[in-house]
């Protein structure tokens, strides 16, 4: 067998001939690949967690469950007409409860904060002070309110902000509903 000079040009020609014969080169499946796929790295825990984070999942489920046990919160939305006295009082009163987040809104156009679709979607439970507020919500946000628990508290508009009687009525009507949730 005659001696052939194996220089860079020879290697380039061999590679080109090899690629033409076997089709396009695929990464990680040939022996001697300059950049082989390291399959064992797929099974490292940190890599699984990084990939799960990329696609928006928490892996494994047991870790997700452990993370979520302490963070189960309840979002309460209190609604009255002008968001001046009743619903801000309820918001402030129940904001101190652990695991409870509160918001208040009004149904009137002149309300300090008029109820919006984002408020309805945010809430887990909706408390309205009178029947007219429930009817207004059902008229304006029919599809969103259909699957949310909506409770009418029957509290008239006769109280000032943080009135003692208003606080008593709110506690008597809301706390039993929170215990069931």
CA atoms within 13 A on the CB side of 13: 6
- How many helices (H) and strands (E) are present in the chain, helices listed first? 8, 4
Confidence of residue 79 (pLDDT cuts 50, 70, 90): very high
- Give the range among 33-37, 46-50, 114-118, 123-127 with minimum mean pLDDT: 33-37
CA distances from 165 to 40, 52, 76, 103, 169 (A): 68, 52, 21, 21, 6
Q: What's the CA angle centered on 54, arms 52 and 59, to 5 degrees? A: 15
Confidence of residue 21 (pLDDT cuts 50, 70, 90): very low
Tokens 């993370």 belong to 67
Instruction: Inform me whether the pLDDT recorded for 70 exceeds 60.
Output: no
How big is the chain, counted in residues?
A: 181
CATH 3.10.129.10 describes domain 74-180: no
Instruction: Inform me whether the pLDDT recorded for 75 exceeds 70.
Output: yes
CA distance 12 to 168: 88
**Average pLDDT for residues 94-123, to the nearest whole number?**
93
- Is the distance from CB of 140 to CB of 119 less than 8 angstroms? no
pLDDT in tens, 132-160: 999 999 999 999 998 899 999 999 999 99
**Token reading at 61:** 């489920």
CA distance 52 to 66: 17
Instruction: Inform me whether the pLDDT recorded for 87 exceeds 80.
Output: yes
Instruction: Inform me whether the pLDDT recorded for 127 exceeds 90.
Output: yes
What b-and-e string marks burial along 31-70, b requiring 16 or more CB atoms within 10 Å of the CB?
eeeeeeeeeeeeeeeeeeeeeeeeeeeeeeeeeeeeeeee
DSSP 24-87: S--TTSSTT-SS---GGGGG-HHHHHHHHHHTT--SSHHHHHHHHHTT--EEEEEEESSSSSHH
- Is the distance from CB of 91 to CB of 103 less than 8 angstroms? yes
Instruction: Inform me whether the pLDDT recorded for 120 exceeds 50.
Output: yes
pLDDT at position 17 is 66
pLDDT at position 104 is 96
Instruction: Inform me whether the pLDDT recorded for 25 exceeds 60.
Output: no
pLDDT at position 111 is 93
Instruction: Inform me whether the pLDDT recorded for 169 exceeds 70.
Output: yes
**Average pLDDT for residues 32-61, to the nearest whole number?**
66
Q: Could you tell me the pTM of the whole model?
A: 0.62
Residue spans per domain, the chain: 32-69, 74-180
> Is the model more confident about 59 or about 51?
51
């Amino acid at each position: 067998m005659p001696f052939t000079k194996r220089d860079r040009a020879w290697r380039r020609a061999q590679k080109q001939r090899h690629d033409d014969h076997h089709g396009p080169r695929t990464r990680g499946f040939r022996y001697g690949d300059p950049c082989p796929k390291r399959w064992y790295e797929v099974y490292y825990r940190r890599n699984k967690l990084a990939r799960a984070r990329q696609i928006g999942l928490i892996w494994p489920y047991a870790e997700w469950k452990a993370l979520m046990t302490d963070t189960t919160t309840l979002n309460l939305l209190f609604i009255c007409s002008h968001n001046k006295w009743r619903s801000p009082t309820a918001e402030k009163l129940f904001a101190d409860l652990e695991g409870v987040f509160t918001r208040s809104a009004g149904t009137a156009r002149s309300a300090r904060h008029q109820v919006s679709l984002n408020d309805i979607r945010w809430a887990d439970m909706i408390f309205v002070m009178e029947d007219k507020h429930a009817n207004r919500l059902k008229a304006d946000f029919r599809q969103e309110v259909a699957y949310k628990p909506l409770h009418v508290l029957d509290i008239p508009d006769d109280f000032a902000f943080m009135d003692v009687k208003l606080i008593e009525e709110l506690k008597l009507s809301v706390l039993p509903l929170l215990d069931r949730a």
